[in-house]
Chains A and B, each alone.
Chain A
Amino acid sequence: MTTMLSQTNTELLGDLIGPKNERAWSECYQRYAPLVIAFVKRMGFSDSAAADVLQETFIAVSQDFLGRDQPFDRSKGRFKSWLCGVARNKALDVLKKGKAKQHQVISAGPHGGLDLDMLPDLEDAEKAERRWEEDWRRNLVRIAMDQIAMEFGSATVQAANLLLIDSLPAARVAKLLGKSTGAIHLAKHRVLKRLRQIVAALVEKEG
């Protein structure tokens, strides 16, 4: 795996221009594919339809960037909003095609019910962008945690996750991982400190 934050977003977008830069595309996919999936899954898309939206979105991004001879022009809008527009349009396309072919695009939502209430949000650009913004912020935390796993090792992240996300007692986490309780608390503080730093840097760079 490439170093996730080896490039700023602007540098990464610059590398997508012109000659086919496979490494930049791979990194772009790792950063943003989970975001597109999260966005359409919240709208109630099935896994298969979400994969279709993802594929169409990246093909559209590719066609746009490979045909460019200038860097992404931030003065004409942010990449974040532009990508939201592409993903939203492709989601609407997949929805229309699915309806035409009588395919089931919408499936049971993550909580077991249909998320049809979300569909008007997809059709409304402003509402869709607000949803996207929530998913974007969440995605920054995901990117940061992937980076932390690379820096500290997966065992440190696992310790912090068991303690902070799964709310297991420190002594139990220590026993599970064969570490001392002090080491588990150290891992927790270090992960949180680094998470705060990386997320702040990403927000500054990417919005």
Chain B
Amino acid sequence: MRKCPNESDLTRVLEGGLPPETEQQIEDHVEHCRRCERALAEQPVDEALVEKLRDMERNRRENASALSRLPETKRTLTTTLFGNDWKAAGPMQA
């Protein structure tokens, strides 16, 4: 796509609802277009949501050492509850 997408299409790329092929074309364009890059940078973000994200991450970092024990506690629990490991379980995300 050579021509910059209009504002409506740019918004729809963010919101969804464009055919995948069109979406991909716009994405490819945006990745290399300074003008569209600026337009995206100027799109407002939901600051309240960003603050919730920051708050969650602060909490996760504060509790990092305790959260790092989760897989170990899980192993102990599975042995206690089931007598073997939970085979279906993947790696625990702290």
Contacts and interface: CB of A to CB of B under 8 A. Distances in A.
A133 to B, nearest CB: 14
Interface stretch (A24-32, A71-79, A89-97, A122-130): A24-32
B87 interface: yes
Given A186-B27, A186-B30, A164 B53 contact: yes
B7 interface: no
A25 B67 contact: no
Given A33-B73, A180-B31, A185-B37, A192 B94 contact: no
Contact of A37 (B16, B55, B63, B80): B63
A182 B33 contact: yes
A26 B62 contact: no
Contacts of A196: 46, 49
A16 to B, nearest CB: 11
Q: Can you list the 7 inter-chain pairs with the closest CB atoms, starting with the nearest?
A: A1-B90, A26-B89, A185-B40, A110-B62, A182-B37, A23-B88, A141-B56
30 contacts: A1-B90, A1-B93, A2-B88, A22-B86, A23-B88, A25-B78, A26-B74, A26-B86, A26-B89, A29-B77, A30-B92, A30-B93, A34-B60, A37-B67, A37-B70, A41-B63, A55-B73, A55-B77, A59-B81, A62-B81, A138-B55, A145-B53, A164-B53, A181-B41, A182-B32, A182-B33, A183-B27, A183-B30, A189-B40, A199-B49
